Amino acid sequence: YVANDSVFLPRFGDRKADDKARGILQEQFPDRDIVPVVIDTVASGGGGIHCATHDQPGKPVD
Catalytic residues, which ones? 51
Alpha helices in the chain (DSSP H): 15-28, 40-43, 49-52
> Widest CA span of the chain, in angstroms?
53
Distance, CA of 56 to CA of 43 (rounded, Å)? 18
